[in-house]
C-alpha cells in the first residue's frame, strides 16, 4: 500500500466499522472495569487483613508495593514487545493470572502468601493494560482522547465499585468471600477472548497505524525531555493518589472515628469522582489541547489538597470529590500526549505510563505507610498536600497542537 492511500484507508476502515468500533471500545472499558474492580479488592480489605494478621502500616504498604511493582516492571516490556509482535492471546491469558491470584487471596493465611497472591494479580494487570489500551486506540476512529478516556474510565469505575462490593461481601463475612470476585474474572476472560478475536482480525489496521510518522517537529532530545516531564507529572499525581487508595479509610477512621463500612462509602465517592474526571478529561483534551488539561488538572488541584487536612468531615468529603475529579482529568491527556510524541509505540507508552502509575503508587504506599507508623496518618496527608505543586513543570511541555 502506498503512502498516499494509507490515510484514506485508515479513514475508510474507521468509518465503515463505526458501530463495531464503539462496541469494541465499550468492551475494552468493561474489561477494564472488571480488572480494576478485582484489583481494588486488595486495598479495600486492608483494615481486615491488618486486624486479622496484626500487620503494621509498613506491612500494608509492602502488600501494595508487591502488587504494583509486579504490574509496573513488566508493563513497558510487554508493551514494547507487542508493539512489534502483536499477541492477541495475551488478553485472556492475563486475566487468567488475575483469577488465580484472587482465588489464592481468599485461601491464604500468612503474610508471605498474601504477598504472592498480590504479585499474581499484579502480573495479570501488567499484561492487561498495554494490550487493551492498544485495542481501544485501534478502535478509536481517530478520536484518541475519547477512546483513551473511555477505556480509563472503565478502570476508574471498577476501582470505585470495588470497595462497595468488598464492604458488602467481604468485610461482614470474612476473607474467604474474596473468592466470589473470581466470578467477575471468569466473565472478563470471556470478554477478553472476544476482544482478542477482533484484534486478530484487524491486525492489518494495527500494521497500518504502525507506519505512522511523528508530525510534531520536535528533536529526539526534546521528545525525551518531554517524556521525562510527563513522567514527573504522573509521579506527583499518583504519589498523592496512593495516600487515598491505600490509607484514606484509615485517615477517616482515626480522625473522625468512622466505622470501616462508613469510611468505604467516602472512598467510593472519591473514586467515583476520579472516574468522572477521567471520562471528561480525554474528550476535552481532544477539543482544547492536552497541555491545557494538564495545567488545569495537576496544578489547579493544589488549593484543594492544601486545605484538605484542616477541614471537618463534611468538607473532607466535598474536597475529596473535587480533588478526585480535577486530578484524574489529566491522565488520558498525558497518555495521548506521550503516544503522539512517539507514534508507533502505543503499547510501550501505555505500559510505561500505566506502569509508572502502579510503580509510583506502590513505592508511595510503602513509604507513606512507614511514615504513618512513625508520625501518624494525619501527618501523611499534610505532607502529601504539597505534591500537586509539581504541576508547575507543565510549563516545560511543548505545544504539539495542530
At 204 the pLDDT is 66
Chain CA centroid to CA 75, Å: 12
**Contact predicate 181/113, CB 8 Å:** no
* Alpha-carbon span 92 to 347, nearest angstrom: 17
At 14 the pLDDT is 39
Q: Model-level pTM?
A: 0.66
Task: For domain 16-211+218-394, give the CATH number.
Answer: 1.20.1250.20
CA distances from 378 to 68, 296, 397 (A): 24, 27, 34
Chain CA centroid to CA 383, Å: 23
Show me where the domains of the chain are located.
Answer: 16-211+218-394
pLDDT digits (tens, 9 = 90+) for 307-359: 999 999 999 999 999 999 998 888 777 877 887 888 777 767 777 776 766 66
> Rounded to the nearest 5°, which phi and psi values hold at 241?
-60, -30
pLDDT digits (tens, 9 = 90+) for 56-79: 888 888 887 888 778 777 777 787
Chain CA centroid to CA 32, Å: 9
Residues with Cβ within 8 Å of 21's Cβ and at least 6 positions away in sequence, in order, are 14, 139, 140, 141
Residues with Cβ within 8 Å of 55's Cβ and at least 6 positions away in sequence, in order, are 49, 111
**Contact predicate 42/67, CB 8 Å:** yes
Length of the chain: 402
Regions of the chain where pLDDT drops below 70: 1-20, 204-217, 347, 354, 356-359, 361-362, 400-402
At 255 the pLDDT is 92
Residue 368's closest CA among 47, 62, 39, 53?
A: 62
At 356 the pLDDT is 67
CB-based burial of residue 37 (10 Å sphere; 0-12 exposed, 13-18 middle, 19+ buried)? buried
Q: Quick one: three-class SS letters along 127-159?
A: HHHHHHHHHHHHCCCCCHHHHHHHHHHHHHHHH
pLDDT digits (tens, 9 = 90+) for 239-267: 888 888 778 988 999 999 988 878 888 98
At 30 the pLDDT is 94
Amino acid at each position: 500500500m502506498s503512502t498516499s492511500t494509507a490515510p484514506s484507508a485508515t479513514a475508510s476502515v474507521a468509518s465503515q466499522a463505526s458501530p463495531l468500533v464503539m462496541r469494541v471500545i465499550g468492551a475494552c472499558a468493561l474489561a477494564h472495569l472488571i480488572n480494576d474492580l478485582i484489583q481494588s479488592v486488595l486495598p479495600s480489605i486492608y483494615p481486615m487483613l491488618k486486624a486479622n494478621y496484626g500487620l503494621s502500616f509498613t506491612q500494608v504498604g509492602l502488600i501494595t508495593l508487591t502488587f504494583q511493582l509486579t504490574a509496573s516492571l513488566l508493563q513497558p516490556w510487554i508493551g514494547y514487545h507487542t508493539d512489534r509482535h502483536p499477541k492477541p492471546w495475551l488478553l485472556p491469558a492475563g486475566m487468567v493470572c488475575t483469577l488465580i491470584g484472587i482465588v489464592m487471596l481468599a485461601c491464604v493465611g500468612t503474610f508471605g502468601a498474601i504477598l504472592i497472591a498480590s504479585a499474581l494479580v499484579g502480573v495479570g494487570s501488567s499484561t492487561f493494560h498495554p494490550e487493551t489500551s492498544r485495542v481501544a486506540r485501534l478502535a478509536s476512529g481517530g478520536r484518541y482522547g475519547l477512546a483513551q478516556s473511555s477505556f480509563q474510565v472503565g478502570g476508574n469505575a471498577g476501582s470505585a465499585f470495588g470497595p462497595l462490593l468488598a464492604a458488602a461481601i467481604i468485610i461482614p463475612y470474612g476473607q474467604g468471600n474474596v473468592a466470589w470476585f473470581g466470578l467477575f474474572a471468569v466473565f472478563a476472560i470471556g470478554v477478553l477472548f472476544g476482544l482478542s478475536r477482533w484484534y486478530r482480525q484487524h491486525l492489518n489496521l494495527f500494521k497500518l497505524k504502525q507506519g505512522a510518522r511523528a508530525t510534531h517537529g520536535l528533536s529526539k532530545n526534546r521528545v525525551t525531555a518531554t517524556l521525562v516531564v510527563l513522567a514527573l507529572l504522573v509521579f506527583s499525581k499518583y504519589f498523592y493518589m496512593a495516600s487515598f487508595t491505600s490509607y484514606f479509610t484509615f485517615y477517616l477512621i482515626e480522625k473522625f472515628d468512622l466505622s470501616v463500612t462508613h469510611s468505604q462509602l467516602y472512598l467510593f465517592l472519591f473514586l467515583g469522582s476520579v472516574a468522572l474526571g477521567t471520562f471528561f478529561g480525554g474528550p476535552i483534551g481532544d477539543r482544547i489541547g492536552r497541555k491545557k488539561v494538564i495545567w488545569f488538572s495537576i496544578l489547579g488541584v493544589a488549593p484543594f489538597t492544601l486545605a484538605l487536612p484542616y477541614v471537618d468531615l463534611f468538607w473532607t468529603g466535598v474536597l475529596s470529590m473535587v480533588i478526585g475529579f480535577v486530578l484524574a482529568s489529566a491522565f488520558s491527556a498525558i497518555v495521548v500526549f506521550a503516544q503522539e510524541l512517539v507514534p508507533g509505540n502505543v503499547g510501550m507508552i501505555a505500559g510505561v505510563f500505566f506502569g509508572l502509575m502502579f510503580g509510583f503508587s506502590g513505592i508511595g504506599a510503602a513509604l507513606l505507610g512507614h511514615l504513618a507508623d512513625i508520625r501518624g496518618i494525619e501527618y501523611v496527608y499534610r505532607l502529601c498536600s504539597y505534591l500537586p505543586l509539581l504541576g508547575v513543570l507543565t510549563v516545560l511541555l511543548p505545544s504539539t497542537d495542530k
